[in-house]
Amino acid sequence: MNLDFLFDKLWEIYTLQNPDVQKVYNLFKSDGEDVLNDHIAFRTINDKRINIDVFAQPFLNNGYEYVNNYEFTEKHLLAKHYEHKTLNNAPRIFISELILEEFSIDLKSFMLDLINKIPEKAFLSEELIFSGNLWGKPSFEQYNKLRQESEYAAWFYVFGFCANHFTVSVNNLKKHNTIQKVNEFLKNHGFELNTSGGEIKGTPEELLEQSSIKSGLIEIDFIEGKYKIPGCYYEFAKRYPDSTGKLYSGFIAKSADKIFESTDFYQK
């Protein structure tokens, strides 16, 4: 599977499920902008059949290499980031995993049961990362129960394997070339920003500023009926050069920690 196919497939599923993302993308395009991705992020569980290293495989097979890792103690997550060895415009890949051992026996055994339901051959397939929910129709009651311990686990239970977010590189925008301008543009068009930790996470001194729209509410067919819950979100990142003049390429754990909350449950 080549990279273009992989990215197209991920984008297709992501925008189909999250019409707000396509609307924002179209807004930028119709304003004459070229939209390049800073990074694409994924969520998974630290079970060895589906952990970060399994998720990274299709990218490693296509010229990516490991760059750095991050810890989110409060949310009980680990993450790794990968970059393409030669293609400068290829998005960074950011993959996080839930550390099951740090949760209740209930949550842990529930999530293990889900993974056990995945057909054996899916574990080895490069298509795993966009294969969605492989354990059948979710329960709204169970979704809410998981949320009390981990919004991340609840999100994963409903959506499974897919891109959690794409991130627009603000550095590559011509007109909307600051996070402030991007945020104003989005708000003027009726999109709601994730305000946890402020509208802008990070500072120019930290070499990375990020913002995101809250995940749009999408209707999910649960066992108990149809309910609207937050899907995926769209993120925006502006990077600054470090003291050597090289554009900072890492991630800032305390900013990412707040960005994770873009999929937290809310109602309208």
By rule CB under 5 A, what count of residues binds Ni ion? 3
Instruction: List Cβ<8 Å contacts ≥24 apart for 223-230.
Output: 223/137, 223/138, 223/139, 223/140, 224/139, 224/140, 224/141, 225/140, 227/140, 228/267, 228/268, 229/143, 229/158, 229/265, 230/155, 230/262, 230/263, 230/264, 230/265, 230/266
Contacts of 160 (CB under 8 A, 6+ apart): 131, 132, 133, 134, 135
Closest CB to Ni ion among 146 and 163? Answer: 163
Q: Which residues, numbered 212-241, are part of the site for Ni ion (CB under 5 A)?
A: 235
Q: With CB under 5 A as the contact rule, which of the stretches 37-45, 59-67, 122-130, 217-225 interacts with Ni ion?
A: 37-45
Please say which residue, 27 or 253, places its beta carbon nearer to Ni ion: 253
The span from the CA of 161 to the CA of 233, in Å, is 15
Nearer to Ni ion (CB atom), residue 62 or residue 167: 167
Candidates 6, 13, 21, 41; binder of Ni ion (CB under 5 A) is 41
Least CB distance to Ni ion at residue 167 (A): 5
Nearest approach, Cβ of 40 to Ni ion (angstroms)? 8
Beta carbons of 218 and 229 less than 8 angstroms apart: yes
Length, in residues, of the chain: 268
Closest CB 258 distance from Ni ion, rounded Å: 11
Nearest alpha carbon to residue 96 among 156, 146, 138, 36? 156
Binding mask 93-132 for Ni ion (x = CB under 5 A): ----------------------------------------
Q: How far is the CB of 64 from Ni ion (least distance, A)?
A: 16
- To the nearest whole angstrom, how small is the minimum distance from the Cβ of residue 77 to Ni ion? 13
- The b/e string for 123-137 (b: 16+ C-beta within 10 A; e otherwise) is eeeeebbbeebeeee
Minimum CB distance to Ni ion, residue 41 (Å): 5
Of 150 and 210, which CB lies nearer to Ni ion in the complex structure?
210
Write b or e for each residue in 161-171: b if 16 or more Cβ atoms lie within 10 A of its Cβ, otherwise e.
bbbbbbbbbbe
Of 167 and 169, the one with the shorter C-beta distance to Ni ion is: 167
Judged by CB under 5 A, the chain residues 45 through 84 that form the site for Ni ion are none
Least spacing, CB of residue 43 vs Ni ion, in Å: 11
Stretch that binds Ni ion, among 56-64, 80-88, 143-151, 163-171 (CB under 5 A): 163-171
The bridge status of strand 225-230 relative to strand 217-222 is antiparallel
Cβ distance to Ni ion smaller for residue 70 or 265: 70
Nearer to Ni ion, 91 or 138 (CB): 91
Q: Can you give the binding site for Ni ion, defined by CB under 5 A?
A: 41, 167, 235
